Amino acid sequence: MKIVVIGGTGQIGRKLIPILTAAGHEASAASPSTGVDTVTGEGLAEALAGAQVVVDVTNAPAWGDDEVLQFFTTSTGNLLEAGRAAGAGHHVALTIVGADRNPGSGYQRAKVAQENLIIASGRPYTILRATQFYSFLETIADGATVDGVVHSPVGAFQPVSEDNVAETLAEIALAPPVDGIIDLAGPEKEPMAQFLRRFLDATYDRRKVVEDPQARYFGGVMTDTSLVPTGDHPTRTGAMTFPEWLSRPEGAR
């Protein structure tokens, strides 16, 4: 089977393509570095020619609310049309658990817009919503730091490893479309502040972490159901625990 991974040279794509290739499939990466621009459409038809499955793991190149929305709506629209023209029978997209419950976050609003385009397209699809990756904890801590103190939002957190995301995407890509959403989370759920403390301790970072009810999660107000699966969709659980990830080279550095 020919599978084209859009954003295949990025964080998840680099892990996904070897899994698909090892399973005997023709998996190729499409990204700006390979001459494919999903916003302008440059190289897209050529990259998708003969593809049976299209997997979208792209990330926006800018974080401004308007820029992110423009990227995901334009890119997704172009991908859906190119996939239709190529005769691809399955459109797979990676989005975020709870995106529709976090309207205060411009990035998550853009991911909801992406999902809506896919659902309304009439194309066979599967959307995988994943919780935040373990590796994103450093960015969360840095963004929440005020005068050397990490002000953690109050709410449950259930991050997952990038390896488990790639493995789940591979399973989905090789299965028939479900025309629906699947949630993926890590095996441990606890307050975000606890994950941040564990990460900072493991990386010998002496910043103090405090729970702050006024703290925002990238612009959004966080509750215990904001960023974790709530049973609205079929849910899978990644196998890699947080301590296991911390013990790897990409974990505690």
Domains along the chain with CATH numbers: 2-132+160-185+219-239 (3.40.50.720)
Q: What is the mean pLDDT of residues 131-135?
A: 96
Report the length, in residues, of the chain: 253
pLDDT above 80: residue 218: yes
pLDDT above 60: residue 253: no
Q: What is the mean pLDDT of residues 91-98?
A: 97
Query: Which tokens belong to 173?
Result: 């890509």
Q: How far apart are CA 220 and CA 217, in angstroms?
A: 5
Kindly indicate the confidence band of residue 159, based on its pLDDT and cuts at 50, 70 and 90: very high
The percent of residues above 90 in pLDDT, for the chain, comes to 91
Place of tokens 């910043």: 207
Q: What is the mean pLDDT of residues 138-150?
A: 96
Q: What is the mean pLDDT of residues 198-203?
A: 96
pLDDT above 90: residue 248: no
14-39 pLDDT per residue, tens: 999 999 999 999 999 999 999 999 99
Q: What is the pLDDT of residue 221?
A: 85
Contact 238, 184 (CB under 8 A): yes
Strand, coil or helix: 11: coil
Q: What is the pTM of this model?
A: 0.95
Residue 217 neighbours by CB distance under 10 Å: 23
Q: What is the mean pLDDT of residues 98-121?
A: 94
Rg, the chain, Cα only: 18
Q: What is the pLDDT of residue 23?
A: 96
Kindly indicate the confidence band of residue 252, based on its pLDDT and cuts at 50, 70 and 90: low
DSSP string, 128-188: EEE--BGGGHHHHHHHTEETTEEEEPSSEE--B-HHHHHHHHHHHHTS---SEEEEEE-S-
pLDDT above 80: residue 251: no
Beta strands in the chain (DSSP E): 2-6, 26-30, 53-56, 90-96, 125-130, 145-146, 149-152, 156-157, 180-185, 190-191, 208-211, 235-237
49-65 pLDDT per residue, tens: 999 999 999 998 877 88
Instruction: Work out the angle at residue 127's Cα, subtended by the Cα atoms of residues 124 and 130, and round it to the nearest 5 degrees.
Output: 165
Strand, coil or helix: 65: helix
Residue (of 197, 192, 195, 189) closest to 216 by Cα position: 192
Q: What is the mean pLDDT of residues 173-190?
A: 98
* b/e per residue 41-53 (b: at least 16 CB within 10 A): bebbeebbeebbb
Kindly indicate the confidence band of residue 98, based on its pLDDT and cuts at 50, 70 and 90: very high
Kindly indicate the confidence band of residue 117, based on its pLDDT and cuts at 50, 70 and 90: very high
pLDDT above 80: residue 121: yes
The percent of residues above 70 in pLDDT, for the chain, comes to 98
